[in-house]
Structure 1
Amino acid sequence: MTSKSISFTVLVAILATFASKVLVINPNPELFLKYLVHLGPTSSIIIAKFIPFNFDDFRRHRKHPDKGKPVSICDDFPPNFPPPETNTTLTLCVDRNGCCNFTTVQSAVDTVANFSMKRTVIWINSGIYYEKVIIPKTKPNITFQGQGYTSTAIAWNDTANSANGTFYSGSVQVFAANFIAKNISFMNVAPIPRPGDVGAQAVAIRIAGDQAAFWGCGFFGAQDTLHDDRGRHYFKDCYIQGSIDFIFGNGKSLYEGCQLISMASPVAPGSKGINGAVTAHGRASADENSGFAFVNCSVGGTGRIWLGRAWRPFSRVVFALTSMTDIIAPEGWNDFNDPTRDQTIFYGEYNCTGDGANITSRAPYVQKLNDTQATLFLNTTFIDGDAWLQSFNS
């Protein structure tokens, strides 16, 4: 590792260490990151991917490698960017170095006109944007366009304790309808909770608006990483990492081709203890039309975990055509230790593969779906996608 670059793994570990010791984060990113360098490298289990992070990017000018003359880093931008506004689209540009209209994501969001019917694309350059971002109900039709989920990230460090509740701890909180995110990561870098910690839940993103779509995005945290709160949502080719209930809420969502990675602590061979769960769906009554469907996904990582537990009595989750490693406990699921929920929860599996997909020892309330039953969950009709879901390139 050179002095000019640091892996995102190391950076996030440092962020977590720093966040656990300091209540007020330095708002100046250059000074903040220079301080982090002096903390020294450390290992991290918050994130398993790498994002090259070049500290030269914080200098507005650098020397030309051949002539030694100063050139602006903004010269890397294509001419006439962002493109001019059209009748249907407005593009705003965010760059932490000042090469665009905005240096923070929230400042770009704040500029969007209330109740605009136009699609506002907020193009976000590579880098870590250490800020808390809120998109209110009054600002629908916003797109976050990153440069790759291993290149662009929004991160913050709130917990249930610091934010007065888990629901408010999200680094990004989306209350508006028709939100789209492409090729960007959402992170909560609060310290990883220890067993029994109270108020340590730390959400990376809360999605409380209807008709949201995420393409090639990353979600990183530990407990309660992705708050799939309410509304119809689509996740395609995403990377989702956490430990306990790391996908939770009462949304009606389709996860297609996603990697679900447990970062629960490794367990001793033969141990029957459980230290994590992928989902905690919050359907409270049979009248609620919600649920999570995972199709062509993969489940792996560390620990010994459940596919889901019944946060509320009508919890509904289906895993179909998904590969599972042996981190999945044989019983597969948990009724929140409330047997009265066994008659109302809907947990189904369909044609899954891998060592963790053996259903012979599954809990008695788990359903092995047939072709007809599974059809309801296998494509975007589950979320009424024909009525609202746009293609990636639209």
Structure 2
Amino acid sequence: MTGRDASAAIGRRRFLRGALYASVATLAPSVAAREAAEIHAVVGKAAGRYAAPVFGSVQAALDAAPREGLRPFRILIGRGVWREKLVIDKPWIHLIGEDRAGSVLSYDSAAGMRRADGQPWGTWGCASLTVRAADFRAERLSIRNDFDYVGNLRAPRFEAIGPNGAQAVALMLDRGAERSVLHEVDLIGHQDTLFAEAGRSWFRRCRVAGSVDFVFGGGNALFEECTLHSRYRPDKQRQGYVAVPCTPSAQAYGLSFLRCRLTRDAEVPDASVALGRAWRPGRTLPDGKYGDPDAVGAAVYLSCWMDAHIDPLGWDAMAYTARDGSRTMLEPLAARLYEHDSRGPGAARTPQRRRLDRAAVLRHQRERVLGDWLPQA
């Protein structure tokens, strides 16, 4: 190649590289513009980049959504702590955070606290965010219950409701919720952080932090590549329980954890946290109120990494009220609590930690767990 040819080749490469950079520069604004056009409401100071209406609260933005939505109504949550107690009862609400750690939905009600009418909130009413409609989605934000759990352990401030009144739910998927998606969301509390009570839900790359029963309920919830983080409880030998299902007996799937990580605060001792326990909540039946005999909890850990805070025994028993009024223990072997391919320092092999057989493992792939619903990240 002559010097002239080499110069021409270099010139062509520079031209092509410049054209490529120009095309990328042209593409980036178009993608940003398309995303901005898909935002229908903005909460906070992120308004400058979007043509959507701006609201001063999350509740005001929810009020602006159509009652019978047929497509997503996307609300951008700007940076800040939005202290609001929210109930989503409209379908297709999508909450999109401007910043995963900086866009925070928070409240601080606990079960034993009193509502305006003087009655206690209870576990079913204390959530910071309650979902009662289909096709909810949240991504890149945090949902917290900021009740001072540790402070209340040291100096209780109200009458106990249930075991202690300190149940403080961050997110509840209540009756009416179905096809809920949470992607890259932090859920933070202590006791009863996430109440997955109803419908099918998919959690992907989320972080759930708590101590006692901090993932619980009777819904069909699939967690993929999530972090389940155990928080420290001062002066407690049993630091907590991760998964606490009350799955109806006819429901094949309950709380399913696939490729998740079970981590801990530095202060949480080794062997101090149970994988979970099966819950039999009280239910009013024709012959009285007692632990629901139809609640046969289902929870599985599949290819999960576990730190050494997980007890080698795995699962604990849990008390419930029997039909005759006595307190009875629901033993782990009486429920549907299993593992497969557990890894890390907390992955022990003991008789109480039952393994799924190969056929059961295949039945716990996403397509089988979620059925005809195939959510997208």
TM-score w.r.t. length of structure 2: 0.73
Contact 2:315/2:332 (<8 A) preserved? no
Match of 2:249 among 277, 286, 291: 286
Q: Work out the CA distance in 1 between the residues paired with 2:258 and 2:252.
A: 19
Match of 1:165 in 2: 122
Letter in 2 for 1:286: S
Cα distance in structure 1, aligned partners of 2:298 and 2:255: 7
Distance 1:296 1:114, change over 3 A: same
Say if 2:297 and 2:335, in contact at 8 Å, map to a contact too.
yes
The structure with more radius of gyration: 2
Aligned to 2:198: 230
Does 2:330 correspond to 1:330?
Answer: no
Q: How far has the Cα of 1:290 moved from its partner?
A: 4.0
- Where structure 1 has 5 or more consecutive residues not aligned to the other structure, the ranges are 1-77
In the other structure, the counterpart of 2:181 is 213
Shift of 1:263: 0.4
- Specify the SS of the correspondent of 1:356: coil
Distance 1:246 1:358, change over 3 A: same
Matched, 1:140 2:113: no
C-alpha distance in 1 between matches for 2:257 and 2:35:
36
Which range is displaced more, 197-206 or 167-176? 197-206
3-state SS of paired residue (1:241)? strand
Amino acid at match of 1:151: G
The within-5 A match list for 1:38-187 is: 83=36, 91-95=40-44, 101-136=54-89, 139-162=90-113, 163=115, 164-187=121-144
Q: Match of 2:241?
A: 277
Is the counterpart of residue 381 in structure 1 residue 349 in structure 2?
no
Q: Deviations over 1:122-150 (max 9, x none)?
A: 111122111111111xx101110102321
Q: Which of the residues 290, 295, 308 maps onto 2:258?
A: 295
- Identity within the alignment, %: 27
Residues 277-321 of structure 1: CA distance to partner in whole angstroms, max 9, x if unpaired?
0111112x4223440110110001043111111112511100010
Partner residue in 2 for 1:27: none
2:233 to 259, 265, 273: 265
C-alpha deviation, 1:389, in angstroms: 3.5
- Determine helix, strand or coil for the equivalent of 1:217: strand
CA contact (8 A) 1:96 1:127 kept: no
Q: Could you say if the C-alpha distance between residues 244 and 101 of structure 1 is closer, same or farther in structure 2, counting changes exceeding 3 Å?
A: same
Q: 1:112 to 1:135 in 2, by over 3 A?
A: same
User: Take 1:82 and 1:264, find their aligned partners in 2: how far apart are those partners?
Assistant: 40
From 221, 225, 236, give the equivalent of 1:253.
Answer: 221
The equivalent residue for 1:190 is 147
Separation of aligned partners in 1, 2:84 and 2:45: 12
User: Per-residue deviation at 1:275?
Assistant: 2.3
Aligned residue for 1:114, secondary structure, equals coil
Contact 2:244–2:279 (Cα < 8 Å) also in 1? yes
C-alpha distance in structure 1 between counterparts of 2:76 and 2:34, whole Å: 10
Rate the CA distance shift 1:83–1:295 in 2: closer, same or farther, 3 A. Answer: closer
Residue 165 of structure 2 is matched in structure 1 by 199
The aligned residue for residue 390 of structure 1 is: 375
Matched residue SS, 1:388: coil
Give me the whole-angstrom Cα distance separating, in 2, the residues matched to 1:185 and 1:330.
32
Matched, 1:346 2:312: no
Distance, in Å, in 2 between the alignment partners of 1:282 and 1:358 is 25
* 2-structure distance, mates of 1:194, 1:375: 43
Shift of 1:200: 1.3
Letter in 2 for 1:293: S
**CA distance 1:79–1:252, shift in 2 (3 Å):** closer
**Separation in 1, partners of 2:165, 2:45:** 32
Report the Cα distance in structure 2 between the residues aligned to 1:235 and 1:212, rounded to whole angstroms. Answer: 8
Shift of 1:190: 0.6
Q: Which residue of 1 aligns with 2:12?
A: none
| CA deviation vs aligned residue, 1:147-205 (integer Å, no higher than 9, x gap) | 23212110111110225211111111110100011101100101114188621111111
Corresponding letter in the other structure for 2:59: Q
Provide the secondary structure at the position in 2 that maps to 1:149.
coil
In the TM superposition, what is the alpha-carbon distance from 1:344 to its structure 2 partner? Answer: 3.5
What are structure 2's unaligned runs of at least 5 residues? Answer: 1-30, 116-120, 281-294, 320-327
Residue 357 of structure 1 deviates from its aligned partner by: 0.8
Q: How many angstroms does 1:340 deviate by?
A: 5.5
| Counterpart amino acid of residue 148 in structure 1 | D
Cα contact 2:108–2:168 (8 A) shared by 1: yes
Pairwise CA distance, 1:368: 0.9
User: Does the Cα contact within 8 Å between 1:82 and 1:93 map onto a contact in 2?
Assistant: no
Displacement after TM superposition at 1:380 (Å): 3.9
The aligned runs of 1:27-42 (5 Å cut-off) are none
Q: Give me the CA root mean square deviation.
A: 2.5
SS of 1:166's equivalent in the other structure is coil
SS in 2 for 1:113: coil
Residue 342 (structure 1) shift: 4.7
Find the aligned partners of 1:132 and 1:318 in 2 and give their Cα distance.
32
